[in-house]
Structure 1
Amino acid sequence: MPRTLTDGIQWIQGCIPRPGLTADYVADPPDWYEPDREVHTCQNAYLVTGDRTLLFDTLSPANRDHVLAELDHALGGRDLDYLVVSHPEAPHAGNAFAILDAHPEATLVAPAHGNEHELYHLGDADRVAPGDTIDLGGKRVEFLQPLFLDHAMHIWLRETTTGTFFPVDWLGFPHMAGECLTVVEELDHEVTVDQLLAFHGRVFFWYQYADVAKTNGVVEELADRHAEDIVAPAHGLPITVDADRFIRRMATVVEHVNERGRLDVFG
């Protein structure tokens, strides 16, 4: 079942078990990891509903039946008006064709910058750039410049009436079985730097080449800008209170990757 994240925004999640952790990680586990529970990485899509509806991202083809069923449930018999893909990778655009087949009335929307990616047929999409908006009637989404990205063709999103920020891959982290569709504030533990590193040390390995002071200046800017927002990442659990405190932990993540290089806890 989709979960209502806030007024007019529903969260669709697909989780993937990750049993293959490195021996070093299992031998000296951080506080967030429990050896007797399964580790999950997740993919999230979000349905924004006003007078019109917009789905942000699609989950991967492995979750095709799941996302189609969850989307139909979330729509409750309504049409899908817009399908927005943040960037052309499987967890974000891999079900675009299937969703458009099921909802041919929907307009496909993709980032304006970057090269066309024929695999996901984004050449037929309406193109949006940072600063562009879509008025859904009672809800309004604004497209943002992605400041931390893993693909040249990439867009972030913010729903302006609820103050919900969608940073796509940034702020991702794994969670334990039983924590699916749980917001960060409902966990019985803090999301630690180690937990954030388990994702960022692999996906954002370019931190090792970054200017730490400049990069963490951007982290501080984002913490200030989105302090009051709900933060809804594509590969982590949403944060609904004290977003600025959570975002500031990323400064330590940047420093760790910069010092140690690429980190991958999954074998």
Structure 2
Amino acid sequence: MDREIRPGVHWLYEPGPDRSGMIEGMEPIPDWYDEEESVHIPQCAYLLDGGDETLLIDTLSPASTDLILGELDELLDDGLDYLVVSHPDVPHAGGTGAIRREYDPTVVAPRYGDDHELYRLDDARLVGEGDSIDLGGYVVDFHEATFLDAPVSLWMSERTEGMLFTVDWMGFPHLESERLRFVDELDGDLDGTRLLQFHGRVLFWHQYVDVEKVQREIERVKRTHDPEMILPAHGLVIREDSGTYFELMKDVVAEIERRDRIGALG
């Protein structure tokens, strides 16, 4: 299942399992939740076709290998030139072997860390801050991830459309009826409860941070990249008012730390 975000930029989507149980124990139940619908924290990959060359960032999980190969077969005319693996983790790298066998792309991986052999990334082109790839109509730049859930991770940005690929950061759950919808298409606002639910559990280290320092880093990321759109690996695409969500993340970090301090983080 995919959706075109901009000409030649496709959002490839895997819903993940039903996570309704993590909501039902919350008090109060968040306004966005509908008990008649399943809840998903998705896996997302993104395909960029710049006209001259093509690039896929992340692979979805092994459970969706047939899905992503089918989508790529429909979307690609002349093969896949680059496969960017943000980090060696199942939802992001699990389809690497199958995609390599099918398309033989140049594999791109973080130049940070030393566990690349887990997904046979030890022969990849290693990139980091200051490296870029020109696809023709799109140019992507690579960055060491500021906020991550693994020892090493790679973020990516795109210059022409102002897209920032934040991988694990800015993830959040959504309802079955919201799959592949842009955040501005949701019935209500994306409030902090969704971001809090994801980051409090998946990026659990937020419990132990210096809140003001992390908030300064969030502001630095916003100022440095100033993105038009945010494309997370575990949430829906934010294509409008991206600055609003940086401000929300400042509140989320403070709330995670507060809940842990009083023993309320579940």
TM range (shorter): over 0.9
Q: CA distance change for structure 1 residues 228 and 122 in 2, over 3 Å: closer, same or farther? A: closer
Q: Which residue of 1 aligns with 2:14?
A: 14
Runs of 4+ in 1 over 4 A off after TM superposition: none
User: 2:61 is aligned with what amino acid?
Assistant: S
TM-score (norm 1): 0.93
Query: What is the Cα deviation at residue 23 of structure 1?
Result: 4.8
Q: State the distance in 1 between where 2:225 and 2:245 align.
A: 11
Q: Which residue of 1 aligns with 2:41?
A: 41
What is the count of residue pairs matched by the alignment? 261
Deviations 1:193-228 (A, max 9, x none): 111111100111111111111100111222334444
Q: State the distance in 1 between where 2:145 and 2:25 align.
A: 34
Q: State the distance in 2 between where 1:22 and 1:140 align.
A: 39
Q: State the distance in 1 between where 2:161 and 2:35 align.
A: 38
* Preserved CA contact (<8 Å) 1:228 1:242: no
User: 1:40 is aligned with what amino acid?
Assistant: H
Query: What is the Cα deviation at residue 91 of structure 1?
Result: 0.6
Deviations 1:145-193 (A, max 9, x none): 2110111221100011111110100000000011111010000111111
Q: State the distance in 1 between where 2:110 and 2:227 align.
A: 26
User: Could you say what the CA RMSD is over the residues aligned between the two structures, in angstroms?
Assistant: 1.5
TM-score (norm 2): 0.94
Q: State the distance in 2 between where 1:185 and 1:226 align.
A: 21
* Preserved CA contact (<8 Å) 1:226 1:243: no
Q: Secondary structure at the match of 1:189?
A: coil
Q: State the distance in 1 between where 2:34 and 2:225 align.
A: 31
* Preserved CA contact (<8 Å) 1:184 1:237: yes
Query: What is the Cα deviation at residue 20 of structure 1?
Result: 2.6
Q: What residue ranges of structure 1 are gaps of 5+ in the alignment?
A: none
- What does 1:124-143 align with in structure 2 at a 5 Å threshold? 124-143=123-142
Larger RCO (alpha carbons 8 Å, 6+ apart): 1
Q: State the distance in 1 between where 2:60 and 2:155 align.
A: 16
Q: CA distance change for structure 1 residues 21 and 208 in 2, over 3 Å: closer, same or farther? A: closer
The share of aligned pairs that are identical, in percent, is: 46
Q: State the distance in 2 between where 1:227 and 1:39 align.
A: 30
Q: State the distance in 2 between where 1:129 and 1:222 align.
A: 16
Q: State the distance in 2 between where 1:164 and 1:23 align.
A: 34
Q: State the distance in 1 between where 2:2 and 2:201 align.
A: 28
Q: Which residue of 1 aligns with 2:71?
A: 70
